[in-house]
Amino acid sequence: MAPRDITGSEKIGPSRQPLIGRLKVERQMTTDEQLMLEFQRGSHEAFTELFQRYRERIFGFFRRRVNDFASAEELAQETFLGLLRGVTRYEPRALFRTYLYGIALHLLAAHRRKSASRANHGDEITPLSARGDPDAALWVKQAVGRLEEDAREVLMLREYEQLSYTEIASLLRVPINTVRSRLFRARLDLKELLVPQRGNTERGSR
Amino acid sequence: MTSAMHPVEKVELMAYLDGELPVERAADVAAHVEQCAECRALAADFGLVSERMAAWQVEPSAAPLTERMNAAAQKHFEERKAREVRAPKFLTLAPPRPLIRRWVWGLTGTFAVLLLVASISIPNLLRSRIASNQATHSPYLAQMDAEKQGGLGAGGAPYAPQHPPGPMIVRTAALTLVSKEFDQARAAIEAAVRQHRGYTAQLTVSGQAGSGQSLTATFRVPADQLEAVMTELKKLGRVEQESKSGEEVTQQYVDLSARLANARRTEQRLNQVLEQRTGKIADVLDVEREIARVGGEIERMEAQLKNLDKQVEFASLQVRLNEEYKAQIEGTPSSIGTRLWNAAGDGYHTLAENLLGLMTFLLSYGPVLLFWGAILYWPARLAWRRLRA
C-alpha cells in the first residue's frame, strides 16, 4: 500500500461524511496538537478548548460501550483526568485524537475487566436515544452487539468516532490491512443483521 | 464475485467509499464503479449500513461532567503553578517530573560508573605507588651500600685475625632480564663481569622449542663493582625483576677472629709445652694430639674467615636472562589443522565453562531472583499500568 497521510486530507471519496468535513474546518483554526502543546506549557484555555471539542465525543464513546450513563460519565471524566495527569508525557509525534482515544480505550478495557463477571454489554438494554427513533437505536445497538468483538470495535471506531484506518490501526495495535478486513467483515455481517429484518421491503436479500 | 473477474477488490471499494484510498487509486476505482453494477450494489449496502448505524445516537453528557472537569482542571493548573514557583526555571521548561526522574537516573548511573572505575583503578594506583616507592628507595639504598663498600674495600687483610675496619656485609643481588638478542646479551653480560674483575661461579643455558632461550648464572663480582655491573647489565634488556640484599656478618667475623686468636695462642702454648717437655711420653703424645686438634680448628676457622672475607669482597650476582620469544611463522607450517583442532577444543571448553558458569549463577542466584521477582511482580505491574494509564 502506498503511504497515506493520516489526516486523510488528500483522499477523495464520496462526500457522505458531513461530520468529518466539520471537524476539518474546526482544525484549520487551531489544531488539537497545537492546543495540546499550549496546554503542556500551562495554558488553561487550551485545555478547556480541547475538553469542549472532545467532551461529547468521549462521552459518546463510552455511552455506546458501557451500559449505564453514570459509568460512561465517570469514564469520560477519567479520560480527561488522565489527559491532565499525563500531559507531560504527551509527545507531538502522535495525533492528539489517537492519544485521547488511546486513553479512553485503555480505561474501557480496565472497566470491562472489572465488570467481566457481570453481564455482557449489549444484553441489558436501556433505550437511550434522545434524538431520533428509540426503536431504531435499540435495534442497531442489538445488532452491533451481536458482531464479533474485534470487528465490532473497528466498526464502531470508524462509524461513531470517525477515525481513519491508520488511527484505528495504531489504537488497536494491529496492521492496517487487518483493520480493513475486519471493517469489511463487520459491515457485511451487520448488513445481514440489519437489512433482512427491515430491508425486505426496500431491497431483496441477496 | 472473484477478483479474477473483478479489477477492484471489495475491500478496496470499501476503502474508497471511506475516503481511505490514495488519490490515483481512487480515480481508478471511481471509474470502475461507474460501470460495475455489483460494485454499485455493494456500495449501496455499505451506505445503508452506515445510515442505519447513524440511528444509534446517544444523549449528550450532563452538566456535572463539565463542572467536575473544570474543577479538576482548576486544581491541576494551580498545583502546576505552585510547582513552577517552587522549582527553578530550568526545570519548568521541560516537563518537570520526567526531568527530575531522568536527572536522578543520570546521577545514579554516573555514581555507579564512578564507583566501578574507582574500584578498578584504586588497587592499581596503590600498586603502582608502592612500586614507585620501592623504585625511589633502591637508589638510596644503593648509595648507602656503595659508601659502606668503599669503607670496607680499603682494609682487607683476609687471613689476619684483626678487627675489620667497618661493617662487613655480604651482598647478594638478583636480576631478571628479558632481551630480544639473547646471544648478544649473554656475551655482553660475561664481558661486563670480566671487565669488573668478576668471575662466573655457575652458568646454565636452557632453551625449549616454542619458547625462547634462557640463561641462569651466578657471578661473583667485587663488592664495590656490584652497582656498576648491575647498571651495565640493566642496559642489556628489559628488567623484569631486580632484588638486592645484604647480610651483616661483622659480629660473626669478630667472633671468629677472636676464637682464631685464642686457638693460635693455645697452639703456641702447646708448642712451648712440647719444647720444654719434662713429663712422661704419654703426656707428650696427649700434647701432640691436642696440637693437631687445635691446628685443625685453626685451619677450619681460617678457611671460614677467608670465605667470609671473600663473600664480603665478592658480591654474588644471580642473573637470569630470558629471550623475548617471537613466534616464528616459518616454524609452524603444518600446524593449521592442529591449531583448528585446538581452537575447536578451546571453543568446546569455553562453551562448557560458560554453561557451567551460567548454571552456577542460576543455582546460586536463582532462588534470590525468584524471591525478589515474586515480591516485586505485583508492584511493578501496578506501576506499569499506572504509567500506561
Domains and CATH numbers, chain A: 20-124 (1.10.1740.10), 128-198 (1.10.10.10)
Asked if residue B126 belongs to a domain, the reply is: no
Handedness of CA B218, B221, B223, B229 (dihedral sign): negative
Q: For position A140, what pLDDT does the model report? A: 85
B160 and B274 in one domain?
A: yes
Q: What is the pLDDT of residues B277-291, one digit of tens each?
A: 777 777 777 888 888
**Pairwise CB contact (< 8 Å): B388 & A106:** yes
Asked if residue B381 belongs to a domain, the reply is: no
- Average pLDDT in chain A: 76
Angle (CA) B32-B33-B39 rounded to 5° is: 120
What mean pLDDT is predicted for residues B35-56?
87
Cβ count near A106 (within 10 Å): 17
Q: Tell me which chain A residues have a C-beta less than 8 angstroms from the C-beta of B388.
A: 106
Nearest to B21 by CA among A3, A154, A179: A3
What percent of chain A has pLDDT above 70? 71
Mean pLDDT lowest for which of A136-150, B83-97, B172-186, B259-273?
B83-97
**Pairwise CB contact (< 8 Å): A63 & B58:** yes
Q: What is the pLDDT of residues B110-150, one digit of tens each?
A: 888 888 888 777 766 666 655 555 444 444 444 444 444 44
Evaluate whether A205 touches A199 at the Cβ level (below 8 Å): yes
> Helices marked H in A115-201 — which ranges?
134-145, 149-159, 165-172, 176-199
Q: By CA distance, what is A42's nearest residue in B?
A: B77
Pick from B323, B342, B365: which residue ends a domain? Answer: B323
Report the range out of A90-94, B20-24, B138-142, B357-361 with the highest average pLDDT.
B357-361
The domain in which residue B47 lies consists of 10-51
Asked if residue B145 belongs to a domain, the reply is: no
Taking the CA of residue B118 and the nearest CA in chain A, the distance in Å comes to 37
Q: For position B5, what pLDDT does the model report? A: 59
Q: For position B98, what pLDDT does the model report? A: 52
Q: For position A4, what pLDDT does the model report? A: 44
Helices B281-313 and B250-275 cross at an angle (nearest 10°) of: 150
Given a cut of 50, is residue A80 above it in pLDDT?
yes
Mean pLDDT lowest for which of A22-26, B54-58, B251-255?
A22-26
Q: Name the strands in the sheet holding B169-179, side by side, starting at the edge strand that comes first in the sequence.
A: B199-207, B213-222, B314-323, B169-179, B238-248
Q: For position A5, what pLDDT does the model report? A: 45
Q: For position A206, what pLDDT does the model report? A: 40
| Widest CA span in chain B | 165
- Nearest residue, CB atoms, A129 vs list B56, B68, B389: B56
Helices B10-17 and A176-199 cross at an angle (nearest 10°) of: 90
Mean pLDDT lowest for which of A75-79, A181-185, B222-226, B322-326?
B322-326
Pick from B323, B344, B366: which residue ends a domain? Answer: B323
Asked if residue B98 belongs to a domain, the reply is: no
Given a cut of 80, is residue B328 above it in pLDDT?
no
Nearest to A42 by CA among B91, B102, B95: B95
Contact residues for A121 (Cβ-Cβ < 8 A; gap 6+):
A65, A66, A67, A112, A145
Q: By CA distance, what is A83's nearest residue in B?
A: B389
- Total number of domains constituting chain B: 2
B282 and B168 in one domain?
A: yes
Look up residue B74 and give its amino acid.
Q
Q: Tell me which chain A residues have a C-beta less than 8 angstroms from the C-beta of B27.
A: 12
Q: For position A15, what pLDDT does the model report? A: 42
What percent of chain B has pLDDT above 90? 7
What mean pLDDT is predicted for residues A132-137?
68
Asked if residue B368 belongs to a domain, the reply is: no
- d(Cα B212, Cα B320) in Å, to the nearest integer? 13
Given a cut of 70, is residue A30 above it in pLDDT?
yes
Q: Who wins on pLDDT, A159 or B97?
A: A159
Asked if residue B119 belongs to a domain, the reply is: no
Asked if residue B160 belongs to a domain, the reply is: yes
Interchain contact B136–A (C-beta under 8 A): no
Ordered DSSP codes for B24-67: HHHHHHHHHHHH-HHHHHHHHHHHHHHHHHTT---PPPPHHHHH
Pick from B272, B299, B323: which residue ends a domain? Answer: B323
- Phi, psi values for residue A12, rounded to 5°: -115, 155
Given a cut of 90, is residue B275 above it in pLDDT?
no
Asked if residue B56 belongs to a domain, the reply is: no
Q: For position A169, what pLDDT does the model report? A: 92
- Nearest residue, CB atoms, B58 vs list A17, A128, A165: A128
Q: Tell me which chain A residues have a C-beta less than 8 angstroms from the C-beta of B14.
A: 180, 183-184, 187
Residue B353 CA from chain centroid, whole number: 21
What percent of chain B has pLDDT above 70? 78
- Nearest residue, CB atoms, A84 vs list B27, B73, B98: B73
Confidence band of A9 (pLDDT split at 50, 70, 90): very low
B313 and B169 in one domain?
A: yes
Nearest to B52 by CA among A92, A103, A202: A202
Residue B42 CA from chain centroid, whole number: 78
B160 and B286 in one domain?
A: yes
Evaluate whether B197 touches B225 at the Cβ level (below 8 Å): yes
* Strands B169-179 vs B238-248: parallel, antiparallel or unpaired: antiparallel
Give residues 59 to 88 of A whose Cβ lies within 8 Å of B: 59-60, 63-64, 69, 73, 76-77, 80-82, 84, 86-88
pTM for this entry: 0.44
